[in-house]
A and B are shown apart, each in its own frame.
Chain A
């Protein structure tokens, strides 16, 4: 079963707007990662945040982590049509296996 839930399940925005996705998980973690999946294709790693980090940036991406609330958020600024995809958070606790959330489907309209 999945580690956690993502919210919202689906999000539709206009190009140029910001998109925020939230992820909640259930157990302790070593780190949390975000992946993107374009329409039934393979997943692509976006960013990793360690359990002792609170915020991380990569280009237009900003990830926050609150281990006390067992939650993370992914912010995509100035969205583009090419950002249309499903976004998954994945937690790592023991070893290397990824435990995925339910995903958020993002639609960015031109």
Chain B
């Protein structure tokens, strides 16, 4: 158990809908990262938050947004869903160190868009 929790585990929805994925980082970790894993794109970094502020952005679509709340949990919002958004979405947390710390990954949310 990494100490990072994600809910829900599975999500099935239809095209055009909006969903929210939730992540609680390890106790004490200020940084939260979101990654997407799909068959065609592999594992991709989406976005990083540090203590409530956006720190880095990757290949995140404009239809996707995220935020980190004062209690450090984070939410990833996916809207106007398309079939191609079906993927595993991982959250990770760490103590930021300029990249020298390992990241602890949650179990993921499997999103299926029908």
Contacts and interface: CB of A to CB of B under 8 A. Distances in A.
Contact of A95 (B44, B48, B110): B48
Interface in B33-65: 33, 35, 41-45, 48, 55-56, 58-59
Contact of B56 (A41, A97, A103): A97
A45 B104 contact: yes
Contacts of A41: 107-108
B44 A45 contact: no
Chain A interface: which size bin?
Answer: 20 to 34
A19 interface: no
Contacts of A30: 98-100
A96 B42 contact: no
Interface of B: 2, 4, 31, 33, 35, 41-45, 48, 55-56, 58-59, 88, 90, 92, 94, 96-108, 110
Given A42-B2, A48-B102, A95-B56, A100 B42 contact: yes
Contacts of A93: 99
Contacts of A102: 42
Given A97-B58, A99-B45, A100-B43, A92 B108 contact: no
